[in-house]
Amino acid sequence: MDKGFETLAIHAGQEADRETGAVVPPIYATSTYKQDGVGGLRSGYEYSRSANPTRTALEECLAALEGGVRGLAFASGLAAEDTLLRTVCRPGDHVLIPADAYGGTYRLFAKVLANWGVAYDPVPLGDAAAVRAAVRPETKVIWVETPTNPLLGIADITALAEVARDAGALLVVDNTFASPYLQQPLALGADVVVHSTTKYIGGHSDVVGGALIVSDPELGERLAYHQNAMGAVAGPFDAWLTLRGAKTLAVRMERHCDNAERVVELLSAHPRVTRVLYPGLPDHPGHETAAKQMRRFGGMVAFQVAGGEEEAVAVCGRTEIFTLAESLGGVESLIEHPGRMTHASAAGSPLEVPSDLVRLSVGIESIDDLLADLSRALG
């Protein structure tokens, strides 16, 4: 479907129901499907681990939004990552991961896949030459996050795609922070896009889910085989909620970006803030790359405060509209202390985050209320 992003979000994979005309794809709460004689499947549906029409609608929509040929929806972002990695890696293989990867992704590599013989090295992804130098003959995957969680580091997807191509490795981009509205890695040369749809795509903090999107149909087939063989699929209720969220992704992202820019302005001028991390700032080391590959700079902001860890924790406890909670990407603003919360699993590792860091997921509430809340909390 050769249509604009907003149109695809609302229509891709979502034609009106042939039987009833229902405009919204129904929640197919069924595990199995009646066969018209043995093997006589209707539209290919046999058993809901293999395929379910509500999930198919979501998968087709996500593939369209990322400009891929195949989308696959999973029970969580980490379930998507696990399925991908156990499809493409074997014992003895090696992967390169971001030096500031999402804590859960790091844990999957360090505590789970390492036990199965897949080695990993953290590398600073902002430095394509360092990534090239870290490639080994066994390197099968270069894992990219941009912007990174929580430090908002930026990697040049086009440059890393070239490194991956030369290495014969797959370039995987976790596009959770940007969302497909702000950044489309497949068009920049990535092989696989990963999402925690829990975040911006779902967008309302009411469902956990994950997705993989690819542009190579053969890889799509292998992943679909493993999705069924391993079984960590998105259920129909979750798929329906995620699809409902995706329809408004574009308008939500615009407001997330508007509000984040105003929050960054306030923080940058605040005497108790020592550093603001946001790729939209001209002095951010990845600013130019971000401007080249992103439509806007997103709704995630991190900052460091004077007074160290105790003060960072205290600020998180003083906001009222910014809710103290993990996760991100929903309509409501959230605040958290990565060192003790989302990234606690990286403590003592090379991926440990600064202890005076606060992370904001800037929501789409009235901006004046958000600014007043932060000013009060910072004192």
Ligand X SMILES: *Cc1c(COP(=O)(O)O)cnc(C)c1O
Residues carrying an active site annotation: 49, 102, 174, 199
Q: Judged by CB, which is closer to ligand X: 188, or 372?
A: 188
Q: Which of 53, 122, 126, 210 binds ligand X (CB under 6 A)?
A: 210
Complete DSSP assignment for 351-363: TPPPTTEEEEE--
Q: Which of 176, 227, 242, 293 binds ligand X (CB under 6 A)?
A: 176
CB of 349 to ligand X, least distance (A): 17
Which 3-state string (H, E, C) describes 209-236? CEEEEECCHHHHHHHHHHHHHHCCECCH
Task: Count the helices and strands in the chain (H runs, E runs).
Answer: 13, 12
The closest of 340, 300, 274, 341 to 147, measured between CA atoms, is: 300
Please tell me whether residue 149 binds ligand X under the rule CB under 6 A: yes
Residues in the chain: 379
Q: Which of 59, 93, 156, 174 binds ligand X (CB under 6 A)?
A: 174
Complete DSSP assignment for 116-141: GT-EEEEE-TT-HHHHHHH--TTEEE
The b-or-e profile of 302-316 (16+ CB within 10 A means b, else e) is bbbbeeeeebbbebb
Q: Which of 208, 213, 316, 358 binds ligand X (CB under 6 A)?
A: 208
CB of 210 to ligand X, least distance (A): 5
The b-or-e profile of 257-275 (16+ CB within 10 A means b, else e) is bebbbebbebbeebeebee
Site for ligand X in 225-254 (CB under 6 A): none
Sheet holding 323-324, edge to edge: 273-277, 300-305, 357-361, 334-336, 323-324
CA distance 148 to 202: 19
Q: Which of 199, 252, 284, 337 binds ligand X (CB under 6 A)?
A: 199
Please tell me whether residue 361 binds ligand X under the rule CB under 6 A: no
CB of 374 to ligand X, least distance (A): 22
Q: Judged by CB, which is closer to ligand X: 199, or 256?
A: 199
CA distance 133 to 74: 34
Q: Which of 66, 93, 145, 191 binds ligand X (CB under 6 A)?
A: 145
For residue 146, give Cα distances in angstroms to 77, 132, 177, 265, 307.
16, 17, 7, 22, 29
Structure tokens at 211: 């997705």
Q: Which of 198, 227, 242, 259 binds ligand X (CB under 6 A)?
A: 198
Name the residue whose CB lies closest to ligand X: 77
CB of 197 to ligand X, least distance (A): 7
Q: Judged by CB, which is closer to ligand X: 139, or 198?
A: 198
Q: Judged by CB, which is closer to ligand X: 244, or 270?
A: 244
Site for ligand X in 91-110 (CB under 6 A): 102, 104-105
CB of 44 to ligand X, least distance (A): 28
CB of 336 to ligand X, least distance (A): 12
Please tell me whether residue 346 binds ligand X under the rule CB under 6 A: no
CA distance 214 to 192: 5
- Using CB under 6 A as the binding criterion, the count of chain residues that bind ligand X stands at 16
122, 126, 128, 134 alpha-carbon torsion, rounded to 10°: -10
For residues 42 to 81, the per-residue mask of contacts with ligand X, x marking binding by CB under 6 A and - elsewhere, is: ----------------------------------xxx---
CB of 201 to ligand X, least distance (A): 10
Q: Judged by CB, which is closer to ligand X: 60, or 174?
A: 174
The residues of the shown chain that bind ligand X, judged by CB under 6 A, are 76-78, 102, 104-105, 145, 149, 174, 176-177, 196, 198-199, 208, 210
